[in-house]
Amino acid sequence: MVKQKKLDKTIRKSLLDAQKLIETVAKADGNEAETRKRVDRIFETVMGYDTFQHISREYAVKGVGDTEHADFAIQVDEGATKPVIMVELKRVNIDLVPKHVKQAASYAINIGCEWVLLTNGKEWRLYHVTFAQPPQTKLVESWRLADDNLELLAEKFELIGYKNVKKGGLEKLWEKRNVLTPRNVLKALLSEASLSLMRRELKKTTGVMITPEEIVGSIRSLLNEAAGIEMENIKISLPKSGQIRRTRKSKTIQETNTDDG
């Protein structure tokens, strides 16, 4: 079992205080302005932002029609031409729904910002905007302040914290997520090298020799519907039957030579 890193006392206290802030405003069914005050405080105490220097409130966004205003815009570099994260805030007891994501993403798209944070104080969602045709908005991380454990909360808030954003941590996060797409993972899992390795490991642990086709069939049965559809679009490299026979023959010769010796 991997030993979990002990949480810093200061971080633990800031997270507990943040939970109390949101719990209090939720019980009072606070409006958006009251929720904003608490979230503003969380940006400062949990994420390490200077709320006067790094956060612009009611940030003007010029779209196709009239100018609109995003709740928060985060800028960590002085003189930057655009924010690094657009933040859309909803009242604490309002559930976050797709139309809120669309609204927040539209602000980011209009100013060329790649990152969107949508929150009601209780639930936090981090999205990435890819400027394709049309632009695509993808959920990257989500967490719940009241429900998730403190270690997880510390990890998630650190992702959007001042220090990580300042050193380009969001870009690294997106690069990693692009590598670990379901398609890429399936391609690696179903490669000839992986299938051969699994055959050897299964033979070693069970004593039964399984064909690559049987392994592929087993993997397919483990996948959900979406992953199964993705799998149909991947070219599966099965080890050639002749290669398998040669491997078996080579192994037999080696065993015979060992017995003769």
The 10s digit of each residue's pLDDT in 165-203 is: 999 999 999 988 887 777 778 888 888 888 889 889 899
Whether residue 3 lies inside any domain: the answer is no
Whether residue 100 lies inside any domain: the answer is yes
Query: What is the predicted pLDDT for the residue at 247?
Result: 45
Whether residue 101 lies inside any domain: the answer is yes
Question: Domain total for the chain?
Answer: 2
The 10s digit of each residue's pLDDT in 232-244 is: 776 666 766 554 4
Task: Tell me, yes or no, whether 24 and 84 share the same domain.
Answer: yes
Higher-confidence residue of 116 and 227: namely 116
Question: HEC profile for the chain?
Answer: CCCCCCCCHHHHHHHHHHHHHHHHHHHCCCCHHHHHHHHHHHHHHCCCCCCCCCEEEEEEEECCCCEEEEEEEECCCCCCCCCCEEEEECCCCCCCCHHHHHHHHHHHHHHCCCEEEEECCCEEEEEEEECCCCCEEEEEEEEECCCCCHHHHHHHHHHCCHHHHHCCHHHHHHHHHHHCCHHHHHHHHCCHHHHHHHHHHHHHHHCCCCCHHHHHHHHHHHCCHHHHHHHHCCCCCCCCHHHHHHHHHHHHHHHHHHHHC
Whether residue 259 lies inside any domain: the answer is no
User: What is the domain extent for residue 75?
Assistant: 9-179
Whether residue 62 lies inside any domain: the answer is yes
The 10s digit of each residue's pLDDT in 14-26 is: 999 999 999 999 9
Task: Tell me, yes or no, whether 173 and 191 share the same domain.
Answer: no
Whether residue 254 lies inside any domain: the answer is no
Task: Tell me, yes or no, whether 215 and 106 share the same domain.
Answer: no
Task: Tell me, yes or no, whether 76 and 189 share the same domain.
Answer: no
Task: Tell me, yes or no, whether 61 and 142 share the same domain.
Answer: yes
Task: Tell me, yes or no, whether 166 and 196 share the same domain.
Answer: no
Task: Tell me, yes or no, whether 33 and 118 share the same domain.
Answer: yes
Task: Tell me, yes or no, whether 76 and 110 share the same domain.
Answer: yes
Whether residue 260 lies inside any domain: the answer is no
Whether residue 24 lies inside any domain: the answer is yes
Task: Tell me, yes or no, whether 164 and 234 share the same domain.
Answer: no
Task: Tell me, yes or no, whether 123 and 144 share the same domain.
Answer: yes
